[in-house]
Structure 1
Amino acid sequence: MSRRDWSAWHEAYADPDSALSRRLVVVQARIRETLDAAPPGPVRVVSMCAGEGRDVLGVLDGHPRRTDVRGRLVELDPQLADRARRRAAAIGVDLEVVTGDAARSAHYAGAVPADLVLLCGVFGNIADVDVARVVAAAPQLTAAGGTVVWTRHRREPDLVPRILEWFAAAGFVQVWLSDKSEGYGVGVHRFAGVPAALRLRLDGTLFRFVGRD
């Protein structure tokens, strides 16, 4: 399979009527709600396969809590990572952008457990077994009471019902789920368990990004 041009893929955001743009609006609304409800003090954020960081950076630009936010965005594509890095600097937020494979747990060392974990644009581009693996690893990424925002398409066979089961088994409580009729899935889960220590495997990865969505 040829490598997808992810920079070109992001051009769909230029069309406000595209499914990608409509999903982004929903994701940003959920991020904004999470930040608005966060208690005073630092808010730690981690984004896996962050792309240009449009979701979180689009919310932080002008948000009253932006100076409270700390954390890390991990993106493999150097062009997208650079765009995220420049935008974060432009709006004055303390978010580190790492250019690297988001599947490697080592890239999250020192940044987790986070109060807000973004798994957007991940589940639709990896195998089902890897989706289950990422969800099972979410307690290593998420602080007690922290929030995970995730996305997954609703095409058949629809994996979302199983994703909900996997989150529940990992100690998460469902907070919100978009309607299936929208064609895309956006979910919000709160971690009700106890954070687990981040297990670092230099030779292992959480998933393999296959680029299907």
Structure 2
Amino acid sequence: MSGDWYAWHDDYDRPGSSLARRLTEVQAQVRAALDQAPAGPLRVVSLCAGQGRDLIPVLAGHPRRDDVTARLVELDPRNAEVATAAAQAAGLTGVQVVVGDAAATDAYADLVPADLVLLCGVFGNVSDDDVRAIVGYSAALCASGGTVFWTRHRREPDLVPAICGWFAQEGFAPVAVSSPADGVGVGVHRHVGRPRPLPAGVTMFRFLPR
């Protein structure tokens, strides 16, 4: 995979950028899911977590912060270092940042099915076939009643309607899906089926060259 995924995060800090607007929407949806989550321990996994911006700032100020055990998996050690520092600065002792291949099912085996599954920044960087495969694996990653958060651009050809259909086929109900007019593609689906076993030793997807 080519491209600098550390520098890619710079757009988050540019007001009005598509990434900044996407981040605001994702954080709002994560906050809402935490607000509505049942009492008790909560498990969270984040694939291709980057610098942890989708999750860590939300947890830092949320009443459920100490109920959460989270694993953020990120291949770029520079991004993982930023995420680790952010979690430590916020005192989030339940947040673990792992440097590794986020596509490997073995990275999550002891923490799934999870209550929140973050797939942000994944669907726009893999093939359509891999998007379909990841949606299928989501039914193993996500607990019954749990929530999946995902992102995908709305440029043509717009894959978002197909993605929503695939989630429906895998036992998910839509919670929120942004429209093309919003300029950012953010989707939230709740697992209404029963979680299936997560297969061991599987690579769920591969990033396309940038």
Q: What residue is the counterpart of 2:91 in the other structure? A: 92
Quick one: which amino acid aligns to residue 73 of structure 2? V
Q: How does 1:184-199 map to 2 (within 5 A)?
A: 184-199=184-199
Percentage of matched positions with identical amino acids: 57
Quick one: which amino acid aligns to residue 14 of structure 1? D
- 1:54 to partner: Cα distance: 0.2
CA distance in 2, matches of 1:115, 1:15: 31
TM-score by length of 2: 0.97
Q: Deviations over 1:118-144 (max 9, x none)?
A: 000000000000000000111110011
Q: How does 1:101-116 map to 2 (within 5 A)?
A: 101-116=101-116
Q: What residue is the counterpart of 1:161 in the other structure? A: 161
User: Which structure 1 residue ranges, 5 or more long, are not aligned?
Assistant: none
Q: What residue is the counterpart of 1:175 in the other structure? A: 175
**Preserved contact between residue 74 and residue 101 of structure 2 (Cα < 8 Å):** yes
Q: Deviations over 1:26-77 (max 9, x none)?
A: 0000000000111111111100000000010111122111111112111000
SS at match of 1:55: coil
SS at match of 2:21: helix
- 1:188 to partner: Cα distance: 0.7
Aligned length: 209
SS at match of 1:207: coil
- 1:24 to partner: Cα distance: 0.3
Q: What residue is the counterpart of 1:30 in the other structure? A: 29
- 1:3 to partner: Cα distance: 1.6
Quick one: which amino acid aligns to residue 16 of structure 1? P
SS at match of 2:63: coil
Q: Determine whether 1:117 maps to 2:136.
A: no
Quick one: which amino acid aligns to residue 96 of structure 2? E
- 1:107 to partner: Cα distance: 0.6
Q: What residue is the counterpart of 1:150 in the other structure? A: 150
**Preserved contact between residue 69 and residue 95 of structure 2 (Cα < 8 Å):** yes
**Preserved contact between residue 21 and residue 184 of structure 2 (Cα < 8 Å):** no
- 1:211 to partner: Cα distance: 5.3
TM-score by length of 1: 0.95
Q: Deviations over 1:11-32 (max 9, x none)?
A: 1111121100001000000000
SS at match of 2:55: helix
CA distance in 1, matches of 2:209, 2:43: 28
User: Which structure 2 residue ranges, 5 or more long, are not aligned?
Assistant: none
Q: What residue is the counterpart of 2:61 in the other structure? A: 62
